[in-house]
Chains A and B, each alone.
Chain A
């Protein structure tokens, strides 16, 4: 569905050229739900804007939904759906009008557009809101309206840019359900996010981008396996002694932490060994690796800190 090679974008600023995206290769197969994960400013949106014809790449090429991005942007537009980061419906418009006109922008007749809109209103829980002004909708309702507008022409490939930003937890869950349903219907979904839980829960496969380059790729589980083992944290007065038993152990007061593969299974015998050499323990914790650990391992920085700072 997507095949991009060396896609790059350089912006010219007063301070000199800035390489927002430094030549990325992206392959997305039909029916996949791919998450594009990275901190703010990593180049996620710039890449997405290039793939959706909003921004011309300064280098590279791409085939999107069977059409060449550079020579046939109109063909790409006809075959993709796009839901941007910011609300896409006019605040002075009515829900039904925006939906119907959006369908007609894709070439549907008025009659077909109305029929299509009726179906989508139900599918995205917007029934009863047809005559409401867009400005009176809640954040979650507006987001579902955006999603409905992106799906009016039944695209086989849908791009979502930070879909759950600024939504309350309940609306986020609801949105995730809708996105999962789209994948179940066979739609290929490519979404950007800087939320770890969103990337983790939704994606079949993740592309991790940092400073304009893709630094890791794989399913969330595969990526987590690359971080060598689970994090074990033991509370003990003999922290220094325990630390000598494990490679790369870190001591913090009466806490010692280290990584071991399959921590949950290794722990019972490990604790027995420690007991045998007379170590006294008052707490034990095992943490599975998170995507943040993956990012930390790949880049030496935490994704969480970056996204909070923005």
Chain B
């Protein structure tokens, strides 16, 4: 199964490696946030803002991953792969692996760019920060592929995404501290697991506790991957 996962990973990685410029274009949006929004937060804002930006990248980067599956479902690619003995789990995990690798590379680039603005982090903090982002990417990527496989149509998938991602992001405190808002909004953010992941990512680069965030992300990974595997095992693509 490891071999199968590697082969599926490699298959989806090949087009990316042939066109690596797309990876750099992929960080255009977070770069804009970094350059045009970050400075609004004033002195010392970087330590607070950059970790949130990384979580936002994990969310947007992997939630849209399912789009890459849809052409392969519509043509006969998924069907062809499903008739080979390749593990069904590998068909999912290999793909998610590609998105997570890209996410880690992009996150690293963003952290390096942020350092030019004044963001400070040790090598250990960078590694921990990337690890948490990668875990979140695994969870969201798995769910994204599973939903894409279920809905099969681009326009349905797009509306499912925007209906779920925007509230998740707004209630995570990525852009502004949730504690600035009214009580009800703050409590709403507390039931959003992503808010805890954002807190944990911030605690890696600042004093604070990562416990709740780690629990949240662990639960998300288990639930997301199980849901993804179940869907890939079951769904006739």
Q: Which residues of A contact B (CB under 8 A)?
A: 49, 52-55, 74, 77-78, 80, 82, 84-94, 97-98, 101-102, 104-107, 146, 149
Among B4-12, B28-36, B103-111, the one that faces the other chain is B4-12
**Given A88-B75, A88-B76, A92-B15, A53 and B84 contact (CB-CB distance below 8 Å):** no
Determine if B85 and A54 form an interchain contact, defined as CB atoms under 8 angstroms apart. Answer: no
B14 an interface residue at 8 Å Cβ cutoff?
A: yes
Q: A54-B79, A90-B72, A90-B77 are in contact. Are A105 and B14 (CB under 8 A)?
A: no
Interchain CA distance A97-B77 in the complex, whole Å: 14
B237 CB to nearest chain A CB (Å): 8
CB of B205, distance to nearest CB on chain A (Å):
37
Q: A104-B7, A105-B85, A105-B86 are in contact. Are A88 and B14 (CB under 8 A)?
A: no
Q: Does chain A have a CB within 8 A of B166? A: no
Query: How long is the Cα–Cα vector from A101 to B3 in the complex, in angstroms?
Result: 12
Range of interface residues on B (Cβ < 8 Å): 20 to 34
Partner of A89, one of B77, B85, B236: B77
What separation, in Å, do the CA atoms of A55 and B79 have in the docked complex?
11
Complex: how many Å from CA A146 to CA B80? Answer: 9
Provide the bound-state CA to CA distance between A85 and B4, in Å: 25
Q: Select from chain A the residue with minimum beta-carbon distance to B80.
A: A88
Q: Does B41 contact A (CB under 8 A)?
A: no
Of all chain A residues, which has the CB nearest B4? A105
Contacts of A149 in B (CB 8 A): 80
Q: Closest approach, in angstroms, between the C-beta of A217 and any C-beta of chain B?
A: 26
Q: How far is the CB of A301 from chain B (nearest CB, A)?
A: 29
Interface of B is mostly: helix
- Whether B84 pairs with A54 at a CB distance below 8 angstroms is no
Contact of A84 among B10, B74, B80, B84 (CB under 8 A): B80
* Distance between Cα atoms of A90 and B12 in the complex (Å): 9
Cβ-based interface call for B83 (8 A):
yes
B82 at the interface (CB under 8 A from A): yes
Taking a contact as CB atoms under 8 Å apart, the answer to whether A86 and B11 are in contact is: no
Residue of B at shortest CB range from A97? B14
B44 close to A (CB within 8 Å): no
Q: B71 an interface residue at 8 Å Cβ cutoff?
A: yes
B115 contacts partner chain A, Cβ-Cβ < 8 Å: no
CB-based contact B77/A88 at 8 Å: yes
Nearest CB of A to B225, in Å: 22
Query: Which residues in B have their C-beta under 8 angstroms from that of A106?
Result: 84-85
Inter-chain contact A102/B84, CB cutoff 8 Å: yes
B222 contacts the other chain (CB 8 A): no
**Which residue from B11, B15, B71 sits with its C-beta under 8 Å from A101?**
B11
Chain B residues near A85 (CB-CB < 8 A): 76
Set A55, A74, A80, A94: member contacting B236, Cβ < 8 A: A55
Supposing A104-B7, A105-B84 touch, asked if A54 and B236 sit within 8 A by C-beta, the answer is yes
In this complex, what residue of B is CB-closest to A89?
A: B77
Contacts of A87 in B (CB 8 A): 75-77
User: What are some 12 contacts across the A-B interface (CB < 8 A)?
Assistant: A74-B85, A77-B84, A78-B85, A80-B83, A84-B76, A90-B77, A91-B75, A92-B15, A101-B7, A104-B7, A105-B85, A106-B84
Those of B35-87 within 8 Å (CB) of chain A: 71-72, 74-77, 79-86
